[in-house]
Structure 1
Amino acid sequence: MLPPLKALPVFEAVARLNSFSLAANELNVSQSAVSHQIRILENHLGESLFQRQGRRLELTREGRQYLDSISHSLSQIEEATNRMKGLQKTQIRLAVYSSFAVYWLIPRLPELQYLHPDLELSIEMTHGKPDLSDRTADFFITTEREKRGFVFEHFYREELFPVCSARYLETIKAKLGVNTEYDLTRLLTDRPELLAQFPLITSYSIYERHTEDWRNWFDNLGLAMPSQVQFHRFSHLMLAYEAAKHSLGIALVNDYMMSEKNEESPLFKFPNSAFKTKVNFYLAFKESRRHEDAIMRLHRWLGKEAQILPKAP
């Protein structure tokens, strides 16, 4: 039996906006009309779709399941209607981690805009693992690799290496008694543990534990991390990167943060000292939507740009 069809777009709007009043404004109806349609749908289904958490409105477990089941059908109806009207959907929402968005994606967006001027891209920045759902985004760059009904394609293997500012590099050379970057490179190639003489900048976000990034860096070189190290601790890789820019010490950052598209990068990359983490990034989108024009175009463009990124061995 079909549900009350008039209630479905109302349900989708409330779920997406987490608000009856915002959904009413978007749909240009009264809030009481929105509440009425949700009650009709809940009565038809015999389930509560929303619950209050303090001042927040959230979907119940049944509400989330129902939204995941019907959201693609609603998108298909909208897309079919637009095709009949001669309109082509060009809007697409991309969910991506904050540091990846800031340092890798945004410097490349002018090229995407040049190649696809009618593609309207909305960026949804995420800090944790995003909820793979149409209500979050249409397309994802994520470390998740499994969810029923989704296509996953390997995009990037994470790699970390130490960096410092040009100004702090002079401090390092002076303390180690070398005059040129070439001499410094030769010295650190033989004795990479010398970096521990300087303040090390550590971030929490990759290993969910401070100093774990540097411990893995030393382990990768077959060395034990010295017990007497001065650390500057930050919650996120972006903060560690900015701290290194301002000469606070030496940071371990991701290679995509040193993109050749980002010509303003002021950091010196220490050579021959990178290590690969166990984290892989994937492109993800619903299998049922893989032939949508906007998703195909974004997929092709990201795939081309990803050719410069390290791949899993």
Structure 2
Amino acid sequence: MSPSASPEEPDVPLNAIRAVIYIAREGSLTRAAKALNTTQSSVSRYLAILEDYLGATIMERRGRRNELTEFGRLFVNTVSEPLDTICYTTQRMRRRSQSQPNRLVVRTSLTTLAYTLLVPNLQSFSSDYGGVIVDLVSSLAMPTSSDSFDVLLTRDLSITEPSDHWEIYNEQLVCVGASHYVGGKERSAIGSMPIITITSRPDILPTWLRGMSLTSKDIQSGARYDHHYLALPAVTTGKSLLVAPEIVVSQLVRDGLLTVIPETRVASGMRYLAFAVDRGNNSELSRAFCRWAMRLCRSATQG
């Protein structure tokens, strides 16, 4: 019993509250139990404990889902945010006390940029900063306050917590093809060779066509790939073209595997950003990484 509780007033069942919030979020006892790393019977027992404590029904079974009653919805909406704040603060203080100054977690939604530019150069960053270990995490999901990372590299995501940020690249699109197929053809290759479509970036091809004063009728439709990193091997070995951010094909162009079709550079209007979040004891190292990433992107496009 807490010091402030009277003999007649039982302790607030905090574990039960947390379990019910997870049931509400996951929509079932089974998924809530999996998220909490416990058993379904334990989650069911917590639900009963809280309903008994409150003297009201919180959940009702409807088909295969557990849905909140009106009372339950009011309760969960009221307590969810404060409990999230408590969990986040506790996790952050734990990270602060256990943080390793020689380790950095970098999260990115730019998988192709990470594959083609970031990963090949991480060793140089590590060497420049005392052998720091860089953990790289790829995710397209919107970051939350409970996610553990020091740096976010992104084009399409944002964060709400305190952070410093840098613009590391203003996206330029170019049309490329295998050097032994497009060499010497210049713009005539655009209408004579199919152009690969990247389904994860449906904006790229229409943006490039507008910038080139072309329409879909002026090009041949080629194969479809989910991501640029899947299309790069195809365009370097096949008779097709690819419209891609210049930064992700720059090394292949320098290596002579790809050739940029002349006069096909178009600004997409997309900005790549690096966020250094205010977490743990790595804030200065996080800022150093963001500045390094900005220099790396600059050298890649100017090289």
TM-score by length of structure 2 reads 0.64
AA of the residue aligned to 2:180? R
The number of aligned residues is 272
Closer, same or farther in 2 for the Cα pair 1:70/1:274, shift >3 Å? farther
Distance in 1 (alpha carbons) for counterparts of 2:117 and 2:49: 46
The yes-or-no answer on 1:99 pairing with 2:112 is: yes
Deviations 1:166-213 (A, max 9, x none): 3323xx54xx5xxxxxxxxxxx4xxx355323333333433448x414
Cα deviation, residue 230, structure 1: 1.9
The yes-or-no answer on 1:32 pairing with 2:35 is: no
Cα deviation, residue 229, structure 1: 2.9
1:251 to 235, 242, 258: 242
Deviations 1:129-183 (A, max 9, x none): x3231345534333347664454623321111111123323xx54xx5xxxxxxx
1:216 to 185, 207, 210: 210
3-state DSSP of counterpart to 2:181: helix
AA of the residue aligned to 1:166? S
Contact 1:7 1:38 in 2 (8 A): yes
| Amino-acid identity (%) | 14
1:203 to 188, 191, 198: 198
Deviations 1:31-53 (A, max 9, x none): 43345446667877x9979x999
AA of the residue aligned to 1:33? S
Contact 1:163 1:252 in 2 (8 A): yes
Distance in 1 (alpha carbons) for counterparts of 2:63 and 2:254: 46
Distance in 1 (alpha carbons) for counterparts of 2:76 and 2:252: 43
Deviations 1:204-238 (A, max 9, x none): 433448x414413413xxxx448353220424341
The yes-or-no answer on 1:125 pairing with 2:113 is: no
3-state DSSP of counterpart to 1:227: helix
The yes-or-no answer on 1:236 pairing with 2:226 is: yes
2:153 to 119, 127, 141: 141
Unmatched tracts of structure 1, length 5 or more? 177-187
Distance in 1 (alpha carbons) for counterparts of 2:80 and 2:123: 34
Closer, same or farther in 2 for the Cα pair 1:275/1:164, shift >3 Å? same
Contact 2:104 2:286 in 1 (8 A): no
Instruction: Single out whichever of 155-164 and 257-266 deviates more from structure 2.
Output: 257-266
Larger Cα-atom Rg: 2
Contact 1:158 1:254 in 2 (8 A): yes
Aligned to 1:180: none
AA of the residue aligned to 2:99? Q
AA of the residue aligned to 2:42? A
Contact 1:150 1:284 in 2 (8 A): no
Aligned to 2:7: none
What aligned pairs does 1:158-169 form with structure 2 within 5 A after superposition?
A: 158-169=171-182
Distance in 2 (alpha carbons) for counterparts of 1:296 and 1:13: 35
CA RMSD of aligned residues (A): 4.8
Contact 2:109 2:155 in 1 (8 A): no
Closer, same or farther in 2 for the Cα pair 1:107/1:52, shift >3 Å? farther
Cα deviation, residue 13, structure 1: 8.8
